């Protein structure tokens, strides 16, 4: 039977971001993040971690990214995506007066050990 997951409801309860992963899916093959950035909230650190890669897609609003890997801050609009590996780290904030929502599809770097649930 197909199981559905209320990610919007979970992010409200958990605050800011929720992970759909091993505990929900019973597999280490993949995971998904769902996040909401509220205007004025402190920057959120985006970092996949050792042995992981993530593709982030902004699904509403806009996200301003800052970090050492960027020559200057970058604003990512709804429908645009970016990719982070391992310890690559960016700071994300809502760009503009509206909240921003994003999803990140993650997986394990080939040959790497995994350390999450």
Count: domains in the chain: 1
For 29, the token pair is 């093959």
CB neighbour class for 88 (10 Å; exposed up to 12, middle 13-18, buried from 19): middle
Indicate the average pLDDT of the chain. 92
CA atoms within 13 A on the CB side of 8: 3
**Whether residue 117 has pLDDT greater than 90:** no
29 falls within a domain: yes
4 falls within a domain: no
Arithmetic mean of pLDDT, 56-78 = 96
**Whether residue 115 has pLDDT greater than 70:** no
pLDDT score, position 37:
98
pLDDT score, position 4:
95
* Percentage above 70 pLDDT, the chain: 95
The range of the structural domain enclosing residue 31 comes to 19-108
pLDDT score, position 27:
85
**Whether residue 113 has pLDDT greater than 80:** no
CATH of the domain at 98: 2.60.120.10
Question: CA 29 to CA 52: how far, in whole Å?
Answer: 11
pLDDT confidence of 24, banded at 50, 70, 90?
very high
113 falls within a domain: no
Helix (H) or strand (E) run with residue 8 in it: helix 7-14
Indicate the SS3 state at residue 86: coil
Arithmetic mean of pLDDT, 15-22 = 93
């Amino acid at each position: 039977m197909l199981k559905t997951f209320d990610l919007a409801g979970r992010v409200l309860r958990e605050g800011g971001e929720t992970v759909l992963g091993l505990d929900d899916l019973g597999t280490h093959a993949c995971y998904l993040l769902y996040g909401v950035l509220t205007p004025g909230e402190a920057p959120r650190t985006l970092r996949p971690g050792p042995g992981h890669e993530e593709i982030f897609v902004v699904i509403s609003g806009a996200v301003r990214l800052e970090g050492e890997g960027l020559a200057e801050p970058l604003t990512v609009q709804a429908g645009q995506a970016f990719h982070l590996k391992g310890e690559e780290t960016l700071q994300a904030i809502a760009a503009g007066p509206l909240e921003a929502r994003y999803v990140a599809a993650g997986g394990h770097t080939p040959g790497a050990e995994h350390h999450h649930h």
